[in-house]
């Protein structure tokens, strides 16, 4: 065994815990979507809300794919472990914000989403901040391999999330959503098509 690489069992252990939280996040999204099929017409669907559900689904699948690179860390200590688990928890919280336990206090998903947008977009901005740290943990060469586009992408997402948290403007929200989903899909295929 290479002494510069951590024991693969440690990496597997971390992936199991991460997998549980990511699975709960995906389950929350899928269960929420299933409610629209189970009870059509009970709650009015809001396309921008559904768009962010799609964005989070893609982001979660992408996250699980790129976290494979944790195996390259020379040291996997409890700090890295806690950091990655907390990162997963941010995703879970975002998914719970998209599909609350009940909509009793809201007329529909548009009312709910727009009234909770500060929380949702603050946590989404946090996810992009944490993503920068997560990528830096994997080493300078790994971070640099994505070029200038990567930090510019994250800083842009963070800024747009802060604007989205502040403004109720539906046109801005529609444009941000369409741009975010499109870019996230393109980025995922360009930067992470193959695991190496």
- DSSP-derived secondary structure for 136-191: HHT-HHHHHTTTTHHHHHHHHHHHHHHHHHH---HHHHHHHHHHHHHHHHHHHHHH
Structural domain includes residue 1: no
Structural domain includes residue 155: yes
Structural domain includes residue 39: yes
Q: Calculate helix-pair angle for 170-191, 47-66, nearest 10 degrees.
A: 20
Structural domain includes residue 3: no
Overall number of domains in the chain: 1
Query: pLDDT tens digits for 87-119?
Result: 999 999 999 999 998 888 999 999 999 999 999
Written as six digits, the tokens of 124 are 């989404």
**Residue 2 CA: distances (Å) to CA of 72, 74, 135:** 12, 10, 23
pTM of this prediction?
Answer: 0.89
Query: pLDDT tens digits for 7-40?
Result: 666 667 677 888 889 899 999 999 999 998 998 8
**Alpha carbons 75 and 95: distance in angstroms, whole number:** 31
**Residue labelled with tokens 């996040």:** 25
Structural domain includes residue 109: yes
Is pLDDT of 6 > 80?
no
Structural domain includes residue 2: no
Is pLDDT of 73 > 70?
no
Written as six digits, the tokens of 53 are 């559900």
**Alpha carbons 81 and 118: distance in angstroms, whole number:** 29
Determine contact, residues 135/150, Cβ cutoff 8 Å: yes
Structural domain includes residue 125: yes
CA diameter of the chain: 59
Residue 103's CB is within 10 A of a number of other CB atoms, namely: 15
What's the confidence (pLDDT) of residue 17?
81
Burial of 36 (0-12, 13-18, 19+ CB in 10 A): middle
Give, for 10, the enclosing helix (H) or strand (E).
Answer: helix 8-38
Domain enclosing residue 108, as ranges: 8-194
Helices (H) and strands (E) in the chain, counts: 8, 0
Structural domain includes residue 135: yes
Burial of 95 (0-12, 13-18, 19+ CB in 10 A): buried
């Amino acid at each position: 065994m290479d002494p510069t690489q951590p024991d693969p069992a440690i990496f597997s252990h971390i992936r199991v815990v991460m997998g549980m939280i990511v699975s709960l996040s995906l389950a929350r999204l899928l269960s929420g979507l299933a409610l629209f099929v189970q009870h059509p017409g009970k709650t009015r669907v809001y396309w921008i809300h559904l768009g962010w559900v799609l964005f989070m689904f893609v982001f979660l699948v992408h996250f699980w794919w790129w976290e494979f690179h944790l195996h390259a860390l020379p040291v996997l200590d409890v700090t890295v472990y806690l950091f990655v688990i907390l990162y997963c928890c941010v995703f879970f919280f975002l998914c719970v914000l998209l599909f609350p336990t009940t909509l009793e206090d809201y007329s529909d998903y548009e009312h709910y989403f727009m009234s909770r947008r500060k929380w949702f977009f603050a946590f989404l901005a946090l996810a992009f901040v944490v993503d920068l740290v997560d990528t830096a943990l994997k080493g300078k060469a790994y971070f640099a391999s994505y070029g200038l586009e990567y930090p510019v992408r994250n800083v842009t997402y963070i800024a747009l999330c802060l604007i989205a948290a502040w403004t109720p403007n539906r046109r801005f929200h529609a444009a941000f959503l369409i741009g975010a989903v499109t870019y996230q899909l393109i980025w995922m295929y360009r930067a992470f098509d193959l695991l190496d």
